Structure 1
């Protein structure tokens, strides 16, 4: 006969708390990936990066368009339905992209947390963009000129919803601020 390893208790199973979808948005080179990966490591949430999907799609065709975002929305929804918390790393430069995150969270009953990374020191922003190297095989990182003409539409709370702007000059301070948001929800 085998040994009994533990006692099984019967009774009501506590449902998991409502999962959260945390979107880290912002201009290229503003610290999104650094913040998002730090959050994912700390919280153990599922991490989804639009750049990775767009790079993979780009291996098969030149114009990826919004398809990378569509794929990430589906992956986020699937993981949220499993009860996993999800962190998305995506520029989200236009109102339609921002509205998509609200729709995804609402569709699956997840709490939405949106962070916009901000790097107001233009010289530091430019330095980061110009010194950036691809961390995904085949990924093309934007140039400073690309960032200056990337079609970023300034955030409007009425149109785009609430978000918390986090300064990213100091990576550890940015991470601490973001973690406070997660723990407050």
Structure 2
């Protein structure tokens, strides 16, 4: 049986390798989309949704107007907005149908995925590819169950991207702190 510390090292290695392979060109295209959109909507299911909810919270701290699809305070999407679709396989039913709907309103679409040829990818304006296991692909064999490494990568990816966006927007840590929730 591996120890907690041995598993920690293995997981960190997997995540480091996965995040290190994301295309800088794709990252830059995604950042441009985030900064140009009037509003940014996020959709994902299960643990992907949880990772994207964390991204919404952090990007909101940067002054980017973000929403999770399905939330009670979700406004309508328009042609000036962006839909970010997280789905490793790119075939998840709910995100796929939401992407189709957003396309009907001429919204831009970014797809965060491990399958750049998926049904959702066909609708996307920008694809950010994570070379990770998904329901439809086994790029490498993770020590973690199912699609865990993809979900973890989404969380860390957005936290690292935040640093780049802070620099691009000229936001200091103190300014960011001013946008934190204060009813906690």
- TM-score normalised per structure 2: 0.32
The structure in which a higher percent of residues are helix is 2
**Structure with greater contact order relative to length (CA < 8 Å, sep ≥ 6):** 1
- TM-score normalised per structure 1: 0.32
Larger Rg: 1 or 2? 1
